[in-house]
Amino acid sequence: MAKSVQGKVVLITGAARGIGAETARVLVRRGARVSLVGMEPDRLRDLADELNGGGTAPQPKAAWFEADVTDQEQIEAAVRGTVEALGGIDVVMANAGVANNGTVAVNPPDALVRTVDVNLNGVIRTVSAALPHVEERKGYVLVVASLAAFTVLPGMAAYCASKAGAEAFANVLRLEVAHKGVRVGSAHPSWIDTDLVRDVEKDLGAFREARSKLPGPLGGTTSVEECAERFADGIAGRKRRIYVPRSLAWFQALRTIVISPMSDVLLKHEAKTMVPRMEEEVRALGRSFGATTVAAGGHEQVVAERAAAKRATTSA
C-alpha cells in the first residue's frame, strides 16, 4: 500500500478555499502535483501561482480549471485539461460542497435541491469524469462526506441527506472498482474552521448555540490545517475512512444510537426553542446560503425571486 504522494497527480474540486485549498498545499509540500477545480478563478489562479512558486518551478506543480461540479461538460473539460497539463490523474478528491441555511419549512425547494446537487450529484459527476484516468493508474478516489453522514441536527436536512448519499456512493463504488486495483475512501470531517462553517456560525445564532451544547468532537472545531494533514495522510495511505478528528470513528460506530428514538427525545427537546428562533433568523437574513458560498451559483437570485413571487401570491 502506497504511503507517499510523491509524483502523484491529485484532482481536487472545491479547491479555491477551505479544505480543498489547504489539502492542495499539503500535498504539494509532500511532492504531489495538483489540479485545482472550482468556481472562483481569481482564487484558483492565485493558489496555483503560490504552489508553482510564482512560475519558478521546472514543471508545474499545480494547474487550475474553473468548473461547476453540477455541470457535466465543465467537469469533463477540467478532467481533460488536467490530463493534458499534468499527464494523468492518480487521485480524485471530490470535495466541493455547500450548506443551505435553516430548515425545510423556510428554505425554498431550489436551495435544498442545490445543496444535494452540489454535495451528492457533484460527487457523482466528478468521480464519473475522472474514473477512467484513475483506473489507468490503479489510483484512489476520495469522496468528502461529513460527520453529517451519520448524525443529524435540525436545520441540516438537505446537507445530512447529501452527505449520507455521498458516503453510500463511496461504499458501493469501492466494491465496483476493487478488482481494478482502485481504492475508494470517504472522509468524515466534523466542524472545520472554514468559510462555510464560519458563515453558518455568523448567520445563525440559534445554530451556533445548539452546536456549542453538543458533546466532544460533535461540537468542537478543528483547524483547516489539521484537517488537511489528515486528508493528505489518508490519500497517501489510500484509506477506506478518514475521520477528523479521529475520535469521530467512535460516533460512526454508534450511528444507530445517534439516530435512535432515544436521541430523538433529546434533540426534540432542544429543537422546540432552537427551530423557531433559527427560522426567524433565516427569514430576516433573506438568503439561503452563506455569504462566501460561490457554488450556490445563480440559485440565490432564483430563490429570492421565487420567494418574492410566492409572498406576493399569498398576500394577494
To the query of whether residue 243 is one of the catalytic residues in this protein, the response is: no
8 A C-beta contact, residue 126 and residue 92: yes
Cell 478563478 belongs to 41
8 A C-beta contact, residue 162 and residue 119: yes
Q: Could you tell me if residue 66 is left (phi over 0), alpha (psi between -120 and 50 degrees) or otherwise beta?
A: beta
Q: Nine-digit cell at 220?
A: 468542537
List C-alpha distances in Å: 234 to 91, 127, 139, 230, 246.
Answer: 11, 18, 13, 6, 12
Residues in the chain: 316
8 A C-beta contact, residue 142 and residue 234: yes
8 A C-beta contact, residue 159 and residue 166: no
Q: Nine-digit cell at 34?
A: 495538483
Which entry of 65, 159, 191, 231 is annotated as an active-site residue?
159
* Catalytic sites, residue numbers: 159
